[in-house]
Chain A
């Protein structure tokens, strides 16, 4: 085929023939039209089938045309390009749907009343009620988990970067990696086994401990990356002045990387704020406001969403509350993320490279 094209033309150009820039769009429009015609003609009512037929025609037409004009290798390239774009668009659909549904259905009942009242006197099937108790519970549990996990995580990272040599640090590095992959429900079961041994009832702090286990490896990982970015010259300059190593770390290394460390901790907080499984096992859920995380069952936002869904018995009021709570939770997580990234950009250490 390409031989023919070359033979007809004077072989003066270095480039082979190319399809015009607009050809993918034209082929797409053409194949869509043909697919609709086939779908209507054959009486296929599923739009998915129309789409599949259109896709197939598009691939065949692209390959055929490109192979004829540009050669087989270019044709393969075009097919690959089309597939990559399709994969991207395919992935965008559910993600857009998720965000859109949460916002559209969440704003229905999300107002000041919803944020400042508990479910104390409201049945799950009735409208009304709110998430105040869940917000209190989430803030306390996540706050306590952060108080436990952040110092331990940062210190471990300091050990790995500043002191770590030999077997112990290699073991810690490996197990921190492995710990990142521990399913949240397993962390919950671990604390649950302790509670069974000591015969304890569910309470908020038990959830905090499980969340802390999930949070520590994330903090270690991100802090480690940040400490490695601190230029060695800074450490050497400080040590050369006779400053002890621990003061060097506290006064030079940590302040230099504090922005990145804060970012890492906030991202870790955002991650554990959405954890449901350990909270379900350890904090149990509560319709009333319980301000004390050390005694009695509490509520938390993700758990509230799950219970509203599970106990709804199909009542729309409960689904509305679940969506509104989801929107609150997503907003909280996203704001944490955005602020964290803002801090990272604002306080990025100057590596001098």
Chain B
């Protein structure tokens, strides 16, 4: 690689071609080429413009709302945009978004990694293809269907688990339960975990499949058991891939709207217990409050959406950086 670039960097001295000859040689002067290049480059620039426009317009409308906010936008525990003076803040939403996503990650990541390992190392060879295919399809199930299922099927089935947690773990404070409907942060977290399972599994499986065969065979040849192969060859190679897969899943969980809106029964308080209904998330609050919001209320919701946008931008950006870094050094291993 290095030698070839060196060669092209120092071409042998040749008679200098005229500017016209140069352009003709590159073939960039044909009108068709110029139009086509313009179109395709324009599309790329258009995408950048959209991203910039999202940031600009959300910020503009958000600033309209925040400037009239009589509470503190960051710390107020209420969302009253229809009264005078209006008072609203994102504290509860930020807390709920983070908590539900953390629950989802704690449940989903180990299970997804285990399923990915199952698909690459444990499942009977004939079953691998079909199972992976089914998981692909499950990733395509619309979130509103998960939401409907969560609200009508999952919520009634959570009572047993909640009662058990309340009986044995209520001393932690996190798991005390007042026997209300199970429309709480824990249920939301579990539903989000089910929803992000397919994407984390898919990406992790791709990474595990790329583990160099030689590493695994070397470990096996030294007498390692299957678990030791996974621990010594597969996991170290796939770690950064799993991290970025998890962050992609986290991005999904943070921005999920409908599944949370159907399952959670929201209020504007921070609850210590994960089992009692209440709380809210950014996306859920936007969907629930939108119907009753006037123009100012919509601006306030846009302000909360801007915060969500920034958070997901950071999470996804970080995930992509990790993937990009991985690409650089995995080339040497392959």
Contact = CB atoms under 8 A, between A and B. Distances in A.
Query: Does B associate with A?
Result: yes
Interface of A: 46-49, 73-74, 76-77, 79-81, 83-85, 87-88, 90-91, 94-95, 97-98, 101-102, 151-153, 155-156, 158-160, 162-164, 168-169, 171-172, 174-187, 189-190, 192-194, 196-197, 213, 216-217, 220, 244-247, 249-250, 267, 270-271, 273-277, 280-281, 302, 305-306, 309-310, 319, 322-323, 326, 329-330, 333-334, 337
B149 A337 contact: no
B47 A172 contact: yes
Contacts of B257: 183-185, 276-277
B290 interface: yes
A85 B226 CA distance: 14
B96 to A, nearest CB: 15
A155 B164 contact: no
Contacts of B53: 190
Main secondary structure of the interface of B (DSSP, over half): helix
Instruction: Name, among B30, B40, B151, B225, the residue most crowded by chain A CB atoms within 10 Å (CB to CB).
Output: B40
Given A73-B225, A185-B255, 8 more contacts: A73-B228, A80-B230, A91-B112, A155-B43, A159-B37, A181-B315, A182-B255, A216-B47
Main secondary structure of the interface of A (DSSP, over half): helix
B305 interface: yes
Given A158-B40, A193-B57, A183 B141 contact: no
A333 B287 contact: no
A190 B58 contact: yes
B147 interface: yes
A340 to B, nearest CB: 10
A246 B143 contact: no
A77 B110 contact: no
B137 A277 contact: no
Interface in B148-195: 148-149, 151-154, 160-161, 163-164, 194
A218 to B, nearest CB: 12
Nearest to A242: B27
Instruction: Name, among A176, A213, A275, A281, the residue most crowded by chain B CB atoms within 10 Å (CB to CB).
Output: A281
B262 A309 contact: yes
A85 B283 contact: no
Given A158-B40, A174-B320, A329 B142 contact: yes
Interface string B104-121: 000000111011011000
Contacts of A185: 255, 257, 283, 286-287, 305, 308
Contact of A80 (B227, B286, B305): B227
Contact of A186 (B30, B138, B255): B255
A271 B46 CA distance: 22
B7 interface: no
21 contacts: A73-B225, A77-B226, A77-B228, A81-B122, A84-B122, A98-B141, A102-B145, A174-B317, A183-B283, A189-B301, A196-B295, A197-B61, A213-B50, A244-B30, A250-B36, A267-B140, A273-B142, A276-B257, A277-B286, A309-B148, A329-B145
Instruction: Name, among A83, A98, A158, A180, the residue most crowded by chain B CB atoms within 10 Å (CB to CB).
Output: A98
Contacts, number: 266
B227 A48 contact: no
A178 B194 contact: no
B316 A163 contact: no
Given A193-B60, A245-B33, A326-B145, A186 B164 contact: no
A155 B40 contact: yes
Contacts of B225: 73-74, 76-77
Interface residue tally on B, bucketed by range: 35 or more
Given A48-B160, A178-B51, A244-B32, A306 B144 contact: yes
Given A159-B40, A189-B286, A305 B27 contact: no
A152 to B, nearest CB: 5
A277 B141 contact: no
Contacts of B308: 183, 185-186
Contact of A330 (B145, B161, B228): B145
Given A94-B194, A276-B258, A192 B298 contact: yes
A119 B309 CA distance: 35
B272 interface: no
A185 B51 CA distance: 14
A186 B305 contact: yes
A302 B257 CA distance: 12
Contact of A155 (B39, B153, B255, B319): B39
Interface of B: 27, 30, 32-33, 35-37, 39-48, 50-51, 53-54, 57-58, 60-61, 110-112, 114-115, 117-118, 122-123, 136-138, 140-149, 151-154, 160-161, 163-164, 194, 197, 225-228, 230, 248, 251-252, 254-258, 261-262, 283, 286-287, 290, 295, 298-299, 301-302, 305-306, 308-309, 312-313, 315-317, 319-320
A333 B144 contact: no
A333 B228 contact: no
Nearest to A74: B225
Nearest to B319: A181
A151 to B, nearest CB: 8
B44 A169 contact: yes
Given A87-B114, A177-B320, A274-B143, A172 B48 contact: yes
B281 to A, nearest CB: 10
B36 to A, nearest CB: 4
A334 B153 contact: no
Nearest to B113: A87
B32 A247 contact: yes
B58 A163 contact: no
A76 B290 CA distance: 53
Nearest to A186: B309
Contacts of B115: 84, 87-88, 91
B316 A181 contact: yes
A238 to B, nearest CB: 12
